Chain A
Amino acid sequence: MSYPQIKITGDTSVAVVFGNEISTDINTKIRAFDEALAEEQIDGVYETVPTYCSLTIHYAPEKIRYEALQERLEALLAVSHKAQKLNTIVMEIPVVYGGEYGPDLETVAAHNGMSTEDVIRIHSGAEYLIYMLGFTPGFSYMGGMDESIATPRLKTPRVLIPAGSVGIAGKQTGIYPIDSPGGWQLIGRTPVKLYDARRDTPILLDAGLHVKFIPIDEAEYKRIETRIEQGRYHCHSYVKEEE
């Protein structure tokens, strides 16, 4: 099969598929195409949703029919695009590891035959690329976790996981943006609100950003929590060094 492909996903949406594997290369192509499409401002296209391998494009057929949209997309795909935004920004997310904040930290350490300190060092040592958001409001699918701390999901999912919990599931790591049930191994928690409906930008993170976890202690967690309540806290970010 050759890529990219345009696929019908309903009578008001299509997906442009760029491949069939999880890779930074495919992700970069999707991001670049999404930006180029936004600049085209095609009348009738009202929403795009990037995922690992494709971009779903929602449109109004009364403004643009499928055939016409297909032509526009093919023309746009014929030229190459470079992602302009976001690709080098790293957001720092403060996390308290272990204890009541991360009840499964010891399980993860034991599973991988290392100390809890090692798990923290490895987990907080990487810059994780956000491939896509989905599942619940603000949930980021991140790549780049060191496989030495990979741990299977819990056999029985928890009924309620507090918002901000940082977990590991297999080779993935992620943050729960809202209180929800779930089966990930919880190693820590951040006071930062990934999702806050009252904020101008309700969802903090975005596809294409990187995330770095910064270990903090409980006192710092409480301080940040207070500052967030007062609307006086903003996450640090920095520009990622070229590889």
Chain B
Amino acid sequence: MGLLFQNGGLLTTVQDAGRRGYQRYGMGVSGAVDVQSYIYANILVGNKYNEAVLEVTLLGPTMEFTSPAVIAVTGGDLSPLIDGVPCPMYRAVKVKKGAVMSFGAPKTGCRAYIAFAGGLAITPIMGSRSTYIKANLGGYEGRKLQRGDEIAFRKPFIEVKNLSRRVIKAPAFTGDCTVRVLMGPQEERFTDEGIHTFLSEGYTVTNEFDRMGYRLTGPKITHVTDGNIITDGITFGAIQVPDGGEPIIMLSDRQTTGGYAKIASVINVDMPFIAQCKAGDTVRFVKTDIKTAQDAFIAQKDEYIRLRELFDSDIPESRFSRYTVKSGNEEFNVTVERVE
């Protein structure tokens, strides 16, 4: 018992942390595009970080819960509803058997993540439950979800402790964003002017944006000769610039290798902002260094651990007071712990 889809939405797939160790065989990594939202969703319901979730794109699915569950919705605000009533995001929510989850119009961001306490009963392929549509493998029959599909929960209903304490502050996905990049590995293939253009101009997301990559348009980034290199590895967040001089940011379903020069790569902690962009949003790139990037990466891992400890600890509920603070259009959930 689990989920019965009445409608799959635009592109709803099963994703986890992706396939590790098979890139050398040409097998793409796949996995959640917005890694932070994906991990937050799992932490909220008490799952392991790498438990499979649903990744919902812009227009969400309609699905019935054929058994009760504790869920959490994170990522872009795609107007999640349960039985027609707005479903709060970034907190653990108990859902009754027979409830129907649907989505309204997308408000912010591009992708939402739904985690289910205990996980989804999907057979791992090559160590992962992620869907890789291009190779028709993993996830639910290697494809996006559609009407009539059923996914069982991996475990029967799990009581999640400290339910009311399980709240995380939602990041603001405003569309336009500035992301930090590490220059290289083929920086020398670009002119000084080209690098200056890349780091000072805004680039707009075109209609060609998917799980594989985001094609951006803007002022041309000039090469010394051309944009072709001898095929080498492509990493998550790598920014390729083909002959045309416009950047392509590589995401989860990227090919493992490619033959375009890479000017820079977006640092991991800033990738969620790219993952939540859609056509028309403007991206700006600012240079950073490896120490700053890795400090931020480790700080984020520490934050995950802190949240998990906070949610799982046996501190009595009464020691916590919760407030909702509104500032302009933004709403913040604040938990105050009384320290003796």
Chain A positions within 8 Å of B, measured between CB atoms, are 7-13, 15, 17, 20-22, 46-54, 56, 58, 61-62, 65-66, 132-139, 141, 177-178, 180, 195, 197, 202-203, 206-207
Residues of A within 8 A of B26 (CB): 133-139, 177, 203
| CB pair A12 B233 closer than 8 Å | no
Number of interface residues of B (CB under 8 A): 42
| CB pair B255 A133 closer than 8 Å | no
Residues of B within 8 A of A138 (CB): 25-27
CB within 8 Å of A: which B1-43 residues: 20-28
| CB pair B265 A134 closer than 8 Å | no
Instruction: Select one of B125, B230, B257, B267 contacting A197, CB under 8 A.
Output: B125
| CB pair A10 B238 closer than 8 Å | yes
CB within 8 Å of A: which B196-238 residues: 230-233, 235-238
For residue B126, CB closer than 8 A to chain A, the reply is yes
CB within 8 Å of A: which B260-301 residues: 262, 265, 267-268, 290-291, 293-294, 297-298, 301
Can you spell out 26 A-B residue pairs with CB atoms less than 8 angstroms apart? A7-B184, A9-B265, A10-B267, A10-B268, A11-B265, A11-B290, A12-B297, A17-B185, A49-B233, A54-B232, A54-B233, A56-B23, A56-B233, A65-B294, A132-B231, A133-B25, A133-B256, A135-B256, A137-B28, A138-B26, A139-B26, A141-B231, A197-B125, A202-B27, A203-B27, A206-B24
| CB pair A51 B257 closer than 8 Å | yes
Instruction: Select one of B20, B137, B184, B232 contacting A53, CB under 8 A.
Output: B232
Residues of B within 8 A of A58 (CB): 23, 235
A228 to B22, CA, bound (A): 23
For residue B325, CB closer than 8 A to chain A, the reply is no
For residue B135, CB closer than 8 A to chain A, the reply is yes
| CB pair A52 B231 closer than 8 Å | yes
Given A12-B297, A47-B20: A136 touches B135 (CB 8 Å cut-off): yes
| CB pair A9 B235 closer than 8 Å | yes
Q: How far is the CB of A192 from chain B (nearest CB, A)?
A: 16
Instruction: Select one of B24, B185, B294 contacting A11, CB under 8 A.
Output: B294
Residues of B within 8 A of A10 (CB): 182, 235-238, 265, 267-268
Residues of A within 8 A of B183 (CB): 8
Instruction: Select one of A11, A48, A51, A139 contacting B293, CB under 8 A.
Output: A11
Given A7-B184, A10-B265: A15 touches B294 (CB 8 Å cut-off): no
Residues of B within 8 A of A133 (CB): 24-26, 256
Residues of B within 8 A of A56 (CB): 23, 232-233, 235
A13 to B29, CA, bound (A): 14
Extra A-B contacts (11), CB below 8 Å, given A47-B20, A137-B137, A202-B126: A9-B184, A9-B233, A15-B232, A49-B256, A51-B233, A52-B231, A62-B301, A66-B294, A132-B257, A137-B25, A137-B28
Residues of A within 8 A of B23 (CB): 47, 49, 56, 58
Q: Top 3 closest A-B pairs, CB basis?
A: A134-B257, A56-B233, A203-B25
Instruction: Select one of B25, B137, B230, B236 contacting A52, CB under 8 A.
Output: B230
Residues of A within 8 A of B184 (CB): 7-9
A22 to B293, CA, bound (A): 33
A47 to B27, CA, bound (A): 12
Given A138-B25, A203-B25: A53 touches B230 (CB 8 Å cut-off): yes
| CB pair B267 A11 closer than 8 Å | yes
| CB pair A207 B24 closer than 8 Å | yes
Q: How far is the CB of B240 from chain A (nearest CB, A)?
A: 12
What residue of chain A has the Cβ atom nearest to residue B294's Cβ?
Answer: A61
A209 to B106, CA, bound (A): 50
What residue of chain B has the Cβ atom nearest to residue A134's Cβ?
Answer: B257
A7 to B290, CA, bound (A): 11
Instruction: Select one of A12, A54, A137 contacting B268, CB under 8 A.
Output: A12
A58 to B137, CA, bound (A): 23
What residue of chain A has the Cβ atom nearest to residue B188's Cβ?
Answer: A1
| CB pair A137 B265 closer than 8 Å | no
What residue of chain B has the Cβ atom nearest to residue A137's Cβ?
Answer: B27
Q: Which of A47, A50, A137, A177 has the most CB of B within 10 A?
A: A137
| CB pair B230 A50 closer than 8 Å | no
Q: How far is the CB of B161 from chain A (nearest CB, A)?
A: 27
Residues of B within 8 A of A207 (CB): 24
| CB pair A8 B290 closer than 8 Å | yes
| CB pair A8 B233 closer than 8 Å | no
A86 to B237, CA, bound (A): 33
Residues of B within 8 A of A51 (CB): 230-233, 257
CB within 8 Å of A: which B132-176 residues: 134-137
A183 to B265, CA, bound (A): 30
Q: Which of B20, B28, B257, B267 has the most CB of A within 10 A?
A: B257
Q: How far is the CB of B156 from chain A (nearest CB, A)?
A: 29
Instruction: Select one of B21, B28, B265 contacting A46, CB under 8 A.
Output: B21
| CB pair A21 B230 closer than 8 Å | yes
| CB pair A197 B126 closer than 8 Å | yes
